């Protein structure tokens, strides 16, 4: 909440600087998620690496200010939670009480996904370049045979994209956009089991976005 308050405050300051128009809208997004991670068992010091690809759909709300030169400054929020990946596997873990084969199921969810961004118009066209920074809470939900649990992690990210804006009647507009987001390393430690492990992961997301909004 503190990060969200800071982002909203920064956005409010930008609005007071050069206000010409305000945009309000919603986006439908297709997310292509690429993750690579490493798990290290503290009891045996063994390491395992894995890559995982998944896709997801999500909705996003945005609020923007547009100055007289067409420069857009905006804040976008994905309301609620969005699952970005899940997996299931059977594995053998070495515990202090012996060796056991278990089935582990895990999923990751985004919550409080917030982006502060600018859309920079390309001269002589309706296309624009998008640059942004933001944060998200990565929540793990798991059902592990060992009884272990992983916590949540607040992660920062950067995004860059290219889009096209089309002005419609009655103050409406539509956009199509493609973007790439890179998230800082995620690090989670397990609790609730003597097979304690640490997971580190890198996350990259390619997003196709269709937006519709209204200018006030």
**pLDDT tens-place string over residues 77-89:** 998 876 655 444 5
Q: Which residue range forms the structural domain that includes residue 156?
A: 2-215
Q: In terms of pLDDT, which residue wins out, 34 or 45?
A: 34
Give the C-alpha separation, 188 to 200, whole Å.
Answer: 6
In the prediction, which pLDDT does 88 show? 46
Report the CATH number that the domain containing residue 154 is assigned in CATH: 2.40.160
Residue whose C-alpha is closest to residue 51's, from 207, 204, 208, 191: 204
CA contacts within 13 A on the Cβ side of 6: 6
In the prediction, which pLDDT does 202 show? 81
**pLDDT tens-place string over residues 85-133:** 544 454 555 555 555 555 555 566 778 899 999 999 998 889 999 999 9
> Number of folded domains in the chain?
1
- Residue 58, judged by CB atoms within 10 A of its CB (0-12, 13-18, 19+), counts as buried
In the prediction, which pLDDT does 206 show? 96
Q: What percent of the chain shows pLDDT beyond 90? A: 40
pTM over 0.85? The answer is no
**pLDDT tens-place string over residues 135-147:** 998 776 654 445 5
In the prediction, which pLDDT does 176 show? 98
**pLDDT tens-place string over residues 149-202:** 566 778 899 999 999 999 999 999 999 999 999 998 877 666 655 555 676 778
């Amino acid at each position: 909440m503190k990060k969200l308050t800071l982002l909203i405050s920064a956005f409010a300051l930008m609005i007071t600087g050069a206000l010409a128009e305000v945009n309000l809208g919603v986006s439908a997004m297709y997310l292509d998620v690429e993750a690579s991670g490493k798990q290290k068992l503290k009891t045996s010091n063994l390491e395992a690496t894995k890559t995982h690809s998944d896709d997801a759909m999500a909705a996003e709300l945005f609020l923007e200010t547009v100055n007289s030169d067409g420069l857009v400054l905006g804040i976008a929020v994905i309301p609620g939670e969005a699952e970005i990946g899940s997996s299931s596997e059977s594995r053998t873990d070495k515990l202090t009480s012996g060796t056991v084969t278990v089935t582990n199921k895990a999923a990751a969810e985004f919550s409080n996904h917030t982006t502060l961004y600018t859309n920079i118009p390309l001269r002589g066209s309706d296309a624009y370049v998008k640059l942004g920074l933001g944060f998200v809470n990565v929540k793990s939900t798991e059902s592990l045979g060992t009884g272990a649990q992983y916590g949540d992690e607040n992660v920062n990210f950067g995004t860059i994209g290219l889009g096209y804006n089309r002005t419609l009647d009655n103050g409406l507009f539509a956009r199509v956009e493609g973007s790439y987001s890179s998230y800082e390393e995620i690090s989670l430690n397990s609790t609730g089991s003597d097979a304690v492990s640490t997971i580190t992961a890198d996350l990259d997301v390619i997003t196709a976005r269709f937006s519709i909004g209204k200018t006030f």
